[in-house]
Amino acid sequence: MEKKEDSNLIISQYVLAVKEIKNAIIDSRYRAARSVNKEVLSLYYWVGNYVSVNSRIGKWNTNAISVISKLLQQELPGLTGFSETNIKNMRIFYEAWCHVLNNKSINYNSTTDIEFKDLLNRQMASADLNDNDWECFLNVGFSNHREIIRKTSTLEERLFYIRRCSKEFWNVETTKFHLKEDLYHKEGSIQQTNFDKTLEEPDFKQRALESFKEEYHLDFINNDDMNERIIEQKVVQNIKKFIMAFGPEFSFMGNQYRLEVSGQEFFIDLLFFSRRLKCLVAFELKRGEFKPEYTGKMNFYLAALDKYVKLPDENPSIGIILCKSKNEEIVELSFSDTSKPMGVSTYRTSQDLPEHFRKALPNIEDLKRLL
């Protein structure tokens, strides 16, 4: 019996050894791949720099890139990645990022030739991206970068796809699919928050930004439902649809959620818990345009939630003020003296949706079957 137990112990040790070695191999491969990818991106970035300077304001002719590509193939038979099209993509890559990365092109003028080795000797790094975004940038392959640059128009939108590519290991086809589906505007595109100054942990901040939209389509609310309590009742009656609008990771904790502070009662319109963020999320529903006093009220609610409701292992509570419309400057000024993380989103009702959207929405019976 004792020998059998010894044998089982040895086998369990072998299993543990295999697991540890396997993890070490995977981690080593990941670091090697990341290192290779960084070198490729650096090379392509500086090739793009060199080509951009000489082709845009330098002395090169219009067919220079085509000629250079063919000569490279002759010098290095079997060389891949340096077709005329891809060299132009390198130029696009450089020009898209040179204003963000701190390694902008060295000083030059139209009569001065640039030594390519001078570019390669400079390290590609970023002064304008935080450490988390810079790591994600280096993890994403050039083909994915190329597609993202083609289909996005703002830095925040570009970074949204880069983060997802890096963390979810998207290949090029997956990236193309999500770009075509406009995932950024369907998921995680909230623009006005105070997260930058109220959330310190970079990864939590990014997940928070990605968890809320700039605008929500609440087709179960009519424009005639002008009373805020009626809007709230409509949300509660259609809570499954409301959660579907925000995402499946949200759990409903209640409406008119009661808080007691110094013997006084206060009520939050809607309270959720986000499994992805591991925090409480308070929603305040407003039937009209955003008003500055909404932020003070939300700041108080979040402070009370953190003190009396939040568990020790949970992240700070987040508040979303959901309005029919907003003035961006008023929102920004209202956030200037807040200390708790919050954002402002707008919503559309059924009458606000374009006709082709309304026709695309399932009817009540279809929704019941889906749910």
In this prediction, residue 252 carries a pLDDT of 85
In this prediction, residue 106 carries a pLDDT of 41
Residue 356's pLDDT band, with cuts at 50, 70 and 90, is very low
Residue 139 pLDDT more than 60? Answer: yes
Distance CA 217, CA 66 (A): 49
In this prediction, residue 107 carries a pLDDT of 43
With a CB cutoff of 8 Å and minimum separation 6, the contacts of 55 are 64, 65, 91
With a CB cutoff of 8 Å and minimum separation 6, the contacts of 106 are 114, 118, 119, 122
pLDDT digits (tens, 9 = 90+) for 65-112: 999 999 998 888 888 889 999 999 999 999 999 888 765 444 444 334
In this prediction, residue 302 carries a pLDDT of 97
* H helix or E strand, kind and range, residue 36: helix 2-56
* In the chain, domain spans: 2-128, 202-370
In this prediction, residue 18 carries a pLDDT of 75
pLDDT digits (tens, 9 = 90+) for 288-315: 899 999 999 999 999 999 999 999 999 9
Residue 339 pLDDT more than 60? Answer: yes
Q: What is the mean pLDDT of residues 250-271?
A: 91
- Residues 320-336 as b/e (b if ≥16 CB within 10 A, e otherwise) read bbbbbebeeeebeebbe
Please, what is the average pLDDT of the chain?
Answer: 80
Question: What's domain 202-370's architecture?
Answer: 3-Layer(aba) Sandwich (3.40)
Residue 46 pLDDT more than 90? Answer: no
Highest mean pLDDT among 98-112, 236-250, 309-323: 309-323
Under DSSP, the state recorded for 104 is P
Q: What is the mean pLDDT of residues 331-335?
A: 94
Instruction: Say which residue, 128 or 254, is predicted with more confidence.
Output: 254
Q: 342: helix, coil or strand?
A: strand
In this prediction, residue 79 carries a pLDDT of 85
In this prediction, residue 363 carries a pLDDT of 47
Residue 318's pLDDT band, with cuts at 50, 70 and 90, is very high
Residue 164's pLDDT band, with cuts at 50, 70 and 90, is confident
Distance CA 179, CA 185 (A): 10
In this prediction, residue 122 carries a pLDDT of 53
In this prediction, residue 102 carries a pLDDT of 60
In this prediction, residue 235 carries a pLDDT of 73
Residue 56's pLDDT band, with cuts at 50, 70 and 90, is confident
Give me the residues paired with residue 283 across strands: 270, 320
Residue 142 pLDDT more than 60? Answer: yes
| Torsions phi, psi for 89 (to 5 deg) | -65, -35
| Stated pTM of the model | 0.54
